[in-house]
Amino acid sequence: YIWRGQQLGSVSIQPNLGIAYKGFSFGAWASSDLTKMDLELDFSVGYTVGGFSAVITDYWFNYTASPQYFNYQKDKNTAHTFEAGVSYNFGESFPLTLSWYTNFAGADNWGYGHSQDYSSYVEASYGFMLWNTDMSVELGLTPWEGAYSDGFDVVNIGVGGSREIPLSDTFALPLFAKVTFNPAANRAYMSFGLTF
């Protein structure tokens, strides 16, 4: 699958579970690669008020050098990466969302001479309707060297859409597709899937 301009897997099943109460939220998200035994399990806690949102996420990958889940050592000795993020959505009349995410602990030492690289990702995304399809365009960059690139770079240019295709009077198939370019890595991707 493609995430922030990076390929993190091939064909995958990605279950998602979340609860929310009075602005607070808790989520669990997983990805299982169908061609390999690569697994990812993420937990997040967040808070939303108005258009402002804040979130802390624990990412865990089993295909690292030290994949044990309860290993929380520093640097590359753990399979966990902890990230903090903030975003602001300007509302329905101007559906622009600005976001900033930074790794603050865990596996975030990429050989640039820092004990912690604080790898960061900044994104602007805009949603709109086109031909009865929910569309979005996004531009993502990294401000300095880290997990995404070796310096300031544009790492994600994406155009995507989702739409329900009616198959009967009672059932519609929810499809999505997206084209992604990563200029920093000189890569391009096409992804699509179903949601249930």
For residue 184, how many other CB atoms are within 10 A of its CB?
19
pLDDT at position 186: 96
Report which residue type is found at 152: F
Total structural domains in the chain? 1
Write out pLDDT tens, residues 156-177: 999 999 999 888 888 888 999 9
Task: State the residue range of the domain holding 65.
Answer: 2-6+14-194
Confidence of residue 36 (pLDDT cuts 50, 70, 90): confident
How confident is the prediction for the chain on average, in pLDDT? Answer: 92
Residue 99 is inside which H or E element, if any? strand 96-106
Write out pLDDT tens, residues 79-136: 899 999 999 999 999 999 999 999 999 888 877 766 789 999 999 999 999 998 999 9
Structure tokens at 140: 């993502």
Q: How many whole angstroms separate alpha carbon 153 and alpha carbon 118?
A: 15
What is the pTM (predicted TM-score) of this model?
0.91
Side-chain-side CA neighbours of 95 within 13 Å: the count stands at 10
Task: Give the Å distances, CA to CA, from 121 to 75, 132, 180.
Answer: 19, 31, 16
Q: Does 20 have pLDDT greater than 70?
A: yes
Q: How many whole angstroms separate alpha carbon 165 and alpha carbon 142?
A: 36
Write out pLDDT tens, residues 140-161: 999 999 999 999 999 999 999 9
